[in-house]
Amino acid sequence: MKPSILVAEDEGALVTLLRYNLEREGYRVLAAQDGEEALLVAAEEKPDLVLLDWMLPQLSGIEVCRRLRGRQETRNVPIIMLTARGEESDRIRGLDTGADDYLTKPFSMTELLARLRAVLRRIRPSLAEDVVAVGDIEMDRAAHRVRRAGKEVHLGPTEYKLLEHLIQHPGRVFSREQLLDAVWGSDVYVEARTVDVHVGRLRKALNIEGVNDPIRTVRSAGYALEDNVVAG
């Protein structure tokens, strides 16, 4: 899954430039032209990062930032503020409101991409890299391959997506509903027990030696990928 970036910016030429450069770097780009739209797209699409213009129509970037931080589903999304104003007080206000970083226009694409990678790496390390490893499980998202203890693991598309989600948050317990949202999307109707079926398949595929199950079932809570599992 490519990391998705929401570009909340009303200058069309800048949006085009950002889209071109971000897509070339392998990101999926979502766009919003004003503050209201930015909140809507952020809530619906749950982007991995938001590039947020300070001066937006409808709602200012600062207000958007504040509201994103105030909502459960977008509370932790990394935010980089973009602004034409380079005053120190604005910078501090932006960071106070909960932005993770700040860029003053005009900025170079090289700098923007570097900052973006740095924020993603800091906040969601697994998003910035093609290869993610947890314990002896290794997932290469560029090659679409999974290995456990060096041995190739063959997964169906749903099991692959499940693992991709779990491996980004090792140790964390996800409810069936959260996994449904993350893997199937919130607009698809799937029964909760479907999650159990696919987790069962993933578990079986990963448990190559039949001795060490990396997926923990938390009764009445959900599932987690153990963060320190080694086969055998």
Judged by beta carbon, residue 53 or residue 100, the one nearer Ca ion is 53
End-to-end CA distance of the chain: 30
Judged by beta carbon, residue 29 or residue 199, the one nearer Ca ion is 29
DSSP state of 133: E
Beta carbon of residue 10, minimum distance to Ca ion (angstroms, whole number):
5
Q: Which residues bind Ca ion (CB under 5 A)?
A: 10, 53, 55
Judged by beta carbon, residue 42 or residue 225, the one nearer Ca ion is 42
49-53 vs 4-8, strand pairing mode: parallel
Beta carbon of residue 9, minimum distance to Ca ion (angstroms, whole number):
6
Beta carbon of residue 59, minimum distance to Ca ion (angstroms, whole number):
12
Quote the distance between the C-alpha of residue 67 and its chain's center.
Answer: 19
- For residues 80 and 78, what is the distance between their CA atoms, to the nearest angstrom? 7
DSSP state of 214: -
- For residues 94 and 100, what is the distance between their CA atoms, to the nearest angstrom? 9
Pick the closest to residue 127 from 137, 135, 117, 136 (CA basis): 117
Beta carbon of residue 11, minimum distance to Ca ion (angstroms, whole number):
6
**Residue with smallest beta-carbon separation from Ca ion:** 55
Judged by beta carbon, residue 13 or residue 142, the one nearer Ca ion is 13
